[in-house]
Amino acid sequence: MTATGRHQGMTALVTGGSRGIGRAVSRRLARDGALVAVHYGHDEAAADRTVKEIETDGGRAFAIHAELGVRADAATLWSAFDRELATHAPDTEPGLDILVNNAGITLPRTIEHVTEEDYDRVFAINTKAPFFILQQGLRRLRDGGRIINISSAATRFAYPGIIAYSMTKAALDHLTLSLALELAPRNITVNTVAPGFTETEINPTLKNPQIRQALSAHSAFGRLGRPADIADVVAFVASEDARWVTGQWLDATGGVGLGL
Ligand code: NAD
């Protein structure tokens, strides 16, 4: 990956930034000059590793902890952000330029196997948490800032066996639309980046060679996405070059569905 410096002097927060797509986004934004708050839920060691990787690459980052899907999670996240920013970067102006709502869980079940508890949990983490993180983050987000919500190709296609997960991301897509309008007077852009099947730990079935092959065939390029494929799209949407793009759903699937 080539460093561009296009996020120099900016502060970014990536939820679920310790691994998978979030880790790649954190590294990409830091390579481009941003100071990155790497949020994590349980995996402190992974968050520390990501921060170390960024520092080894010559970037700046710090970890912040907040378990999502519990009451007052947004308040916990923002107080951790405020505290750690003041500790790790006391000379940096408080506030935020780029917020990436990336943390999420999947729920690989057909409708008859989804319990009410499952339903509440997947909505709490994938939909409610980003909503209140945004609500409480708006006063920290600087005018001209960027919000990027990580959704899924599953909101445009009916992928079998992930009905409730797909619904959480469809609601997130609408959050992008409505919020883009609400924040336009502040020159803040709000966009969705939607990956297709991507090589991370969210989907353990990707370790099965037959499933890998079948899912790879969904993309026009005949392979699964890599976290860096998604991170590079996020970095563009987060940049000044994308100032005229807001309320949009950006496909980052390698052409899933082109041949149908
Ligand atoms: P991942 O499991 O590696 O990463 C998910 C991140 O969310 C992790 O850092 C995890 O710690 C965090 N997280 C989950 N539950 C949390 C909680 N309760 N509290 C705090 N943090 C929590 O998977 P990934 O593939 O990197 O997923 C990143 C995003 O991309 C998710 O929103 C996912 O829905 C979306 N996505 C992934 C794929 C794919 O195939 N990998 C496809 C479409 C969309």
Q: Is residue 67 part of a domain?
A: yes
In this structure, which residue's CA is closest to atom 33 in ligand 1? Answer: 104
ipTM over 0.95: yes
Identify the residue whose tokens are 């336009």.
Answer: 184
| Total number of domains constituting the chain | 1
Name 200's Cβ contacts closer than 8 Å, sequence gap at least 6.
Answer: 19, 20, 21, 227
Q: Is residue 229 part of a domain?
A: yes
Q: What is the pLDDT of residues 48-93, one digit of tens each?
A: 999 999 999 999 999 999 999 999 999 999 999 999 999 999 999 9
Q: What is the pLDDT of residues 105-116, one digit of tens each?
A: 999 999 999 999
Q: Is residue 4 part of a domain?
A: no
Widest CA span in the chain: 54
Q: Would you place residue 157 in the very low, low, confident or very high pLDDT band (cuts 50, 70, 90)?
A: very high
Is pTM beyond 0.90? Reply is yes
Q: Is residue 258 part of a domain?
A: no
Q: Is residue 242 part of a domain?
A: yes
173 CA distance to ligand 1 centroid (A)?
Answer: 16
- CATH code for position 72: 3.40.50.720
Is the CB of 254 inside a 6 Å radius of any atom of ligand 1?
A: no
Catalytic sites, residue numbers: 165
Domain that holds residue 82: 11-251
Distance from chain centroid for Cα 144:
19
Mean pLDDT calculated for residue range 229-239: 98
- Return the DSSP state at 60: E
Q: What is the pLDDT of residues 20-46, one digit of tens each?
A: 999 999 999 999 999 999 999 999 999
Residue 12 confidence (pLDDT) above 70:
yes
Q: Would you place residue 152 in the very low, low, confident or very high pLDDT band (cuts 50, 70, 90)?
A: very high
In this structure, which residue's CA is closest to atom 18 in ligand 1? Answer: 68
Q: Is 36 exposed, middle or buried (0-12, 13-18, 19+ CB in 10 A)?
A: buried
In this structure, which residue's CA is closest to atom 20 in ligand 1? Answer: 41
Q: Is residue 220 part of a domain?
A: yes
Please name the amino acid found at residue 75. A
Q: Is residue 1 part of a domain?
A: no
